[in-house]
Amino acid sequence: MKNLKFKTVTINVTGANGEMHEYHTNNEYKNTTKEDVINVFKLEPLHMATYLDGYNMGEMKSFNTYNWNAPFTLCGVAPEDIYEGVAIVNIHLGGDARGNYSEPYICEEPEAIFSQSSYLCVELSDGQTFSFDCDNGEAYFDFDTFDPYWVNFDENITKEQLQELTEKNEK
């Protein structure tokens, strides 16, 4: 355990096309700008409503991903069957989640907005790696001995931290 430290701690979120995108790395949030979120979910500006011609809009329901603590906050409308049709979304630009949203965008993969699956990868200074899937859709990883959103990279890892990483990685 002596001189064993955290090297990198990264949380990734699945976006459009099943691509992984950094959400948080080594104590810093990533992909936080409007342009980043557009890239993560492959959003297209809704300049003209005629773009929606040919899509079965069906019964649309409003949503806000903030309400279930998703890593990226978007609001809008989407079909009840998120695998059929498109969503019209606005990107949260910071501050209170009840306001401060972007202009509208079209999302051709609404399921990516709703699932936002997240994964944690912890690498130690000796090369050991540990990977975890998030089981709650919030990018919250339940550890007793450390917080993956704030790690002291200057301190040695404790015996308890290594034990918890090892035990939870085996599940």
Q: What is the pLDDT of residue 96?
A: 84
Phi, psi of 20 (to 5 degrees): -90, 140
Give the span between the Cα atoms of 9 and 90, in whole angstroms. Answer: 30
Write the pLDDT tens digit of every residue in 16-27: 999 999 999 999
Write the pLDDT tens digit of every residue in 148-171: 999 999 999 999 999 999 999 987
The pTM for the full model equals 0.90
Structure tokens at 82: 């998120």
